[in-house]
Chain A
Amino acid sequence: MMNLAVDTPWWLAGLLLTVLPLFNSGIQPSTYPWLPLLPIDPLSQAISVLLRACAMATMAALVLGLAGLHETEQSRECIAYGANIVLLLDRSNSMDNTFAGKTPDGANESKATAARRLLSDFVEQRPHDLLGIAEYSTAPLFVLPLTDNKAAIHAAINATATPALAYTHVSKGLSMALDLFKDQPLSGSRIVLLVSDGAAAIDPDSELQLRLAFKRQNIRLYWLFLRTANSPGIFDKPQDPRDDNAGAMPERYLHLFFSSLNIPYQAYQAESPGAMQQAIADINRLEHAPLHYRERIPKRDLSGDCYLWATGLLAMLLAVKFF
């Protein structure tokens, strides 16, 4: 179903001009003494009618082009295998370092670059997902709502190439990621993919809110932890029991918090780009549930097509004129 509309409706008054070819064939007639003497020729009649129709179509195309004919925005109901995924990306300073914790050189890429590359591939492999992107640093950054527009998603992922910001404030980031699912129809699985190389302690107020939100939104959580060499991992237990607190080991405590949420949760600890790829392939394999969503088809400008048609028809009429 085509929904057509125009930008400036009063131009449509020009459609009255389309009747002009009915009164003037455009060919200078030569006088003839007696027309009934000429034979009735069906081919000539057909060509004459066709030429008039062409001239009328040219007029109509020009007027519609001027009026700015376009197809209105529409949505299409789609069912596909995929998931609603929100990528929550860490934009702290440390993401710009390599897995070895150094400034990236030619041989080793930074964690952010690796994440960018692998996530782009991940998006490519999953054509039917709805993806949203949120980032966090000191404050959460809203990047992209849930969409199936691949170009926008790639652009958003590439936008993380800008230099990273300051600190890691994961709880704000998580609440923004969960907010993205708000007002979305409950269809297909909902995934938050947290990509970070560090963690921070979550204050009790946010903890309570997050618990509620995770439960309410029915979220599956994947944490892709990019571990820098010689930094504490998420599964490590401190040797000294005095260090066993959220301040000293935020990664371990964030993992414990996620595990205690009673939601499907999986943590991956990647120590190299290869391991990270493995983790992403894992997620890719697991998340294939039927997804019901409405695809939005943007407004499409048809005036260019109108002018193209008008040009083609005019060229034809001119060719006939000088034939």
Chain B
Amino acid sequence: MTPAHIFQYRLAMPSCRVYPGAHVGRMVSSGHLFKQHEPLIAHPDPRRIDLRASVLDVFGQYRVRVYQQHSLIDVLLLADLSTSMGQNKALLLDCLESIAESAFSYGDRFSFIGCGSETSARYQLSHCQQRGALRAFSQQLQTARFTPQNPHWQSALPHLPSCPSLVFLLSDFHFDLSILSPILPQLRQHDVIPLVIWQTGDYEQLPEWGLVSFQDSESLATRTLFMRPALRRTIVQRFQQRRRQLQSFFRRYGCEPMFLQDRFQAAQLQAYFLQRAA
């Protein structure tokens, strides 16, 4: 994995994890950012005794300088494993690798939860910090069988950490959004980033003329379309409309979706985080 494939990210809120890491946290310990003075009895580290503060202390106690500790965070990737994602498998693996590598570069822990018709332990990776485990899991995911049903996001919720974490929601969102609306409020404590993956072959790169038959990957219903430029324009408009609908839907829950087309680009995610920090 070359550095071009990783991106830098920040959590919108401070971490509450006790383990030291790279992100702003709530823990006070060793660090570079002065946070407050504390009695020596609370932080028995004589190296940090602040003499000036101790002299000024009305109770004549020794005061110790404590610093804000940088903590690690959990990075989670919740991926839709329904059949419609079958065509996006390569993208999914790229995405998994990039996000995991980026997390490793911060020393953060990476978890993956696959949501098919249910959340199976087979497609789950918890608190991974080793590349070997990631590679093994990635290989296992390559042979994954996608379930022909809408993803059951509800079953993923118990596996989420209680502390604020960075949660990527990876799906094509080709389902009725009403199944997602009870889930998003429960993810409010986390920093949720919906990644919408679409294949341009599904709308922009359709043929201008011809007779095509489409079979729904999940319901297996078929529909024959007589393609012509006007119909293709209508389809592209439908996708643009859907894009606006997704944006307004996720903004209602305080997250901004990111649209990935055809392939995963870490630079795109990088730009997303830079934009958010600005």
Contacts and interface: CB of A to CB of B under 8 A. Distances in A.
Interface of A: 25, 27-35, 37-39, 41, 43-44, 47-48, 51, 320, 323
Nearest to A32: B214
B215 to A, nearest CB: 4
Given A31-B214, A32-B217, A38-B223, 15 more contacts: A25-B224, A29-B213, A30-B213, A31-B87, A31-B217, A33-B216, A34-B84, A34-B175, A34-B216, A34-B218, A38-B238, A39-B231, A39-B234, A44-B225, A48-B224
Contacts of B226: 41, 43-44, 47
A41 B222 CA distance: 14
Contacts of A30: 212-215
Contacts of A44: 223-226, 231
Interface in B233-272: 234-235, 238-239, 242
Contacts of B239: 37
Contacts of B58: none
B211 A39 contact: no
Contacts of B87: 31, 33
Contacts of B242: 37
Interface residues of B, number: 31
Contacts of B42: none
Contact of A38 (B199, B219, B235): B235
Nearest to B214: A32
16 contacts: A25-B222, A30-B212, A30-B215, A31-B216, A32-B215, A33-B85, A34-B175, A34-B218, A37-B238, A38-B225, A38-B238, A41-B231, A41-B234, A44-B231, A47-B224, A320-B211
A47 B222 CA distance: 14
Contacts of A38: 214, 223, 225, 235, 238
B71 to A, nearest CB: 39
A319 to B, nearest CB: 11
Contact of B215 (A31, A51, A320): A31
Nearest to A31: B217
The 8 A-B pairs of least Cβ separation, nearest first, read A34-B174, A33-B84, A32-B214, A29-B215, A48-B224, A27-B213, A29-B213, A35-B216
B234 to A, nearest CB: 5
Given A35-B223, A37-B238, A28 B213 contact: yes
Nearest to A320: B211
Contacts of B278: none
A39 B235 contact: yes
Contacts of B235: 38-39
Which one of A25, A34, A43, A44 has the highest number of Cβ atoms from chain B below 10 Å of its Cβ? A34
Interface string B84-128: 111100000000000000000000000000000000000000000
Contacts of A28: 213
Contacts of A51: 224
Interface string B50-82: 000000000000000000000000000000000
Given A29-B214, A323-B211, A35 B172 contact: no
A56 to B, nearest CB: 15
Contacts of B212: 27, 30
Which one of B84, B222, B231 has the highest number of Cβ atoms from chain A below 10 Å of its Cβ? B222
Contacts of A41: 225-226, 231, 234
Contacts of B219: 35
B210 interface: yes
Contacts of B221: 35
A38 B237 CA distance: 10
